[in-house]
């Protein structure tokens, strides 16, 4: 659906979630599975992949030109949306969610659909903890901050030892890739890498599997089409946690 051209949507509401993260609500409902993404066209700037935080919203962290342009928009402004694309998270069984920063975005719909039992959420500091109130209403929330201003002082990966991994059928993860790679190593040591589901972010041009810009080594899997969610066993011997590629195709350390 909407694979050829973006449709124009008007921004109806903007919520400042944290000093660096905003949610943009728009006047169109998108039927998507938790973890799927859309391509967002910012007129005159760029088109970028974004996770859906609800059927009619994207949640954005200001990190580059396109997101800075989004942050300059207001209610009534128009952006382009096409999608949804990708596979999303699987369904069923007891689920543990692990998120770092704005990586909570694709996991929020999973939680609000009643599919998450425990949610581990990490951030740099208390003011950057996103969606905490919404998550608490639907799951058991455990928070970690780098500086200790909220919850556990340390990384969100340190909270994993406080839960029984054997009790979960799937472990859904999204956030900075270094954090996700650390979670994968923990799952591998515990013998449950196959139950991990990791949402990857890569540079994309088309979003529909044609251009190959988001292929990952060594399997050639396309993040936009075969992902963005991959089982941990697929990622164990891949580029995951080591490098990604920029717009020119050059490797960059993650």
- The answer to whether the annotation marks 215 as part of a ligand binding site is no
- The answer to whether the annotation marks 211 as part of a ligand binding site is yes
Spatial contact of 83 and 53, defined as CB atoms under 8 Å apart: no
- The answer to whether the annotation marks 206 as part of a ligand binding site is yes
* Residue 6 DSSP code: P
User: What are the angstrom distances between the C-alpha of 30 and each of 9, 72, 172, 174, 206?
Assistant: 11, 24, 22, 21, 19
> What is the distance between the alpha carbons of residues 15 and 23, in angstroms, rounded to a whole number?
5
CA 91 to chain centroid, in Å, comes to: 17
Output the CA torsion 111→117→118→119 (10° steps). Answer: 0
- The answer to whether the annotation marks 174 as part of a ligand binding site is no
Output the CA torsion 249→239→66→77 (10° steps). Answer: 120
Q: Give strand pairing partners of 242.
A: none
> What is the distance between the alpha carbons of residues 16 and 49, in angstroms, rounded to a whole number?
20
169 CB-side CA count, 13 A: 10
Binding-site residues sit at 206, 211, 214, 224
Pick out the residues of the known binding site for [2Fe-2S] cluster.
Answer: 206, 211, 214, 224
């Amino acid at each position: 659906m909407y694979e050829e051209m973006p449709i124009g949507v008007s921004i109806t509401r903007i919520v400042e979630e944290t000093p660096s993260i905003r949610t943009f609500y728009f006047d169109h409902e998108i039927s998507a599975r938790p973890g799927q993404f859309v391509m967002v066209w910012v007129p005159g700037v760029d088109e970028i992949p974004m996770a859906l935080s609800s059927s009619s919203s994207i949640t954005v962290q200001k990190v580059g030109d396109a997101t800075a342009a989004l942050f300059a928009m207001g209610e009534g402004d128009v952006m382009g949306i096409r999608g949804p694309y990708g596979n999303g998270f699987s369904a069923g069984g007891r689920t543990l969610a692990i998120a770092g920063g704005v990586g909570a975005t694709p996991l929020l719909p999973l939680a609000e659909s009643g599919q998450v039992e425990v949610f581990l959420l990490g951030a740099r500091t208390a003011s950057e903890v996103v969606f905490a109130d919404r998550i608490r209403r639907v799951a058991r929330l455990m928070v970690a901050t780098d500086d200790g201003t909220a919850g556990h002082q340390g990384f969100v990966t340190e909270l994993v030892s406080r839960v029984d991994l054997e009790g979960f059928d799937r472990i859904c993860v999204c956030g900075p890739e270094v954090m996700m790679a650390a979670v994968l190593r923990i799952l591998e040591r515990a013998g449950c890498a196959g139950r991990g589901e990791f949402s990857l972010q890569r540079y994309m041009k088309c979003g529909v599997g044609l251009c190959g810009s988001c292929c990952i080594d060594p399997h050639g899997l396309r993040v936009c089409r075969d992902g963005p969610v991959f089982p941990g066993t697929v990622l164990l011997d891949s580029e995951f946690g080591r490098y990604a590629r920029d717009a020119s195709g050059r490797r960059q350390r993650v």
